[in-house]
Amino acid sequence: MTTATHATLTLPGPTSGAAGVALDVSASTGTNRDAEFEREALPWLDDVYRFALTLTRDESDADDVVQETYLRAYRSWHTFIPGTECRRWLFTICRNVFLRSRERQRPTVDLEDGEQDALAAGSVYAAARERGYDDLYATLDLAPALRDALDELAEPFRSAVILVDVEDMTYESAAQVMGVPIGTVRSRLFRGRRLLQEKLVTVAEDLGFATASVGVRR
């Protein structure tokens, strides 16, 4: 038996520094609903916030996305299947919230444009290997440049790279979050990685390693 209730659900702020989130929820709930939600969903708050921050690149926007994510998750808790991966379920909601918030603000790259970008990136990557940049990638601290390059990477390639390479999700889990076949995830990940490599080659050249690389090769 369920009863209609009006409740306030308070989420603690993530350890990354985001403020706590208070959700006013009107829904038909069971007596164990809040306890189940707190046990299954709240432990992933930091992960969801980190994912939201990577997508939005703005703390305030990330807070908004997290709040909306957990509000929707709470209202849709009856659709969550016990025993499945709650983190993946929350990431799916989070990404959908982000995309809806951006669909009128920022255009995405369609697959035809992405194919052209991928081909261009592939040729630059091949040229980088010819110049001997592979060793440079292993020795240089490219973390700041990588973060900037990831921020500039367009959807849908960015989500694929974040989910697989940053959040360490399997292709299957990433496919479920993105709502696409596994083959599409592999394709987008390949393109995203190549586009990132293209940007990192530019960074290496700007740092003057092109000349140094040519000098040491025989």
Q: In which band, very low, low, confident or very high, does the pLDDT at 34 lie, cut at 50, 70 and 90?
A: confident
- Domain segments of the chain as ranges: 3-102, 111-216
Which pLDDT belongs to residue 148?
78
Overall pTM > 0.75: no
The CATH code of domain 111-216 reads 1.10.10.10
- Of 115, 91, 83, the closest CA to residue 174 belongs to 91
Considering only residues 147 and 62, tell me which one the structure prediction assigns the higher pLDDT: 62
pLDDT tens digits, one per residue of 160-171: 999 998 899 999
Which pLDDT belongs to residue 119?
44
pLDDT at position 218 over 50 = no
pLDDT at position 193 over 70 = yes
Average pLDDT, the chain: 73
Secondary structure letter of residue 166 according to DSSP: I
Name the amino acid, one letter, at 9.
L
Name the least confident of 65-79, 135-149, 178-192: 135-149
Match 């940053």 to its residue by tokens: 166
Q: Which residues contact 163 (CB under 8 A, 6 or more apart)?
A: 91, 169, 173, 174, 177, 178
pLDDT tens digits, one per residue of 84-128: 999 999 999 999 999 888 775 554 444 444 444 444 444 444 444
Dist CA 99 CA 32 (whole Å): 32
What number is the average pLDDT over the span 203-216?
52
Q: Which two tokens stand for residue 125?
A: 């990557």
Query: The CATH number of 3-102 is which of 3.20.20.70, 1.10.1740.10, 3.40.309.10, 3.40.50.10610?
Result: 1.10.1740.10
Dist CA 91 CA 199 (whole Å): 27
